[in-house]
């Protein structure tokens, strides 16, 4: 059974809680989510790397973002575009991140 995506209107994070550039790990029921921010770009993805299923964030909650453009998986170095989740290098092949549509509303990141 797979956990459904959070319903529209679900607040995932306060914008202030997310480093810029950086990420904020959270979850909806048992679905791990990472909210990612780089300048004006705010995105949310399921927090599972498509290479070997590890989280994209470190146990501290921090995540690696190269040049403000690429999320870098801390386990084997696969990289993904912050803006689209598309794989941009490393061992994940063509597999990208699974997006959760969000918008920013009153400094909150909300499922769209
Ligand atoms: S689990 Fe992410 S690169 Fe291997």
pLDDT at 34: 98
Condensed to tens digits (0 to 9), the pLDDT of residues 2-49 reads 778 999 999 999 999 999 999 999 999 999 999 999 999 999 999 999
95 lines ligand 1 (CB under 6 A): no
91/46 Cα distance (integer angstroms)? 18
Q: Does residue 63 contact residue 22 with C-beta atoms inside 8 Å?
A: yes
Assigned token pair, 9: 């209107």
Q: What is the pLDDT of residues 56-109, one digit of tens each?
A: 999 999 999 999 999 999 999 999 999 999 999 999 999 999 999 999 999 999
Q: Is the CB of 62 under 6 A from ligand 1?
A: no
Residues in the chain: 112
Single out the residue of 34, 54, 30 nearest to residue 109, CA to CA: 34
Q: What is the mean pLDDT of the chain?
A: 96
What is the rounded radius of gyration, in angstroms, for the C-alpha atoms of the chain? 13
If one residue of 47, 48, 54, 57 were mutated to test the ligand 1 pocket, choosing by the most ligand atoms within 8 A of its CB, it would be: 54
Say yes or no to pLDDT of 1 above 60. no
Domains (ranges, CATH) in the chain?
Answer: 11-111 (2.102.10.10)
């Amino acid at each position: 059974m797979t956990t459904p995506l959070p319903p529209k209107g679900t607040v995932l994070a306060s914008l202030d809680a997310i480093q810029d550039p950086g990420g904020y790990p959270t979850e909806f029921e048992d679905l791990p989510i990472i909210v990612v921010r780089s300048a004006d770009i705010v995105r949310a993805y399921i927090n599972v790397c498509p290479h070997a299923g590890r989280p994209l964030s470190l146990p501290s909650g921090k995540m690696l973002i190269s040049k403000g453009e690429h999320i870098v998986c801390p386990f084997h170095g696969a990289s993904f575009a912050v803006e689209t989740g598309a794989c941009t290098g490393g061992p994940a092949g063509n597999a990208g991140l699974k997006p959760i549509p969000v918008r920013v509303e009153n400094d909150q990141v909300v499922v769209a």
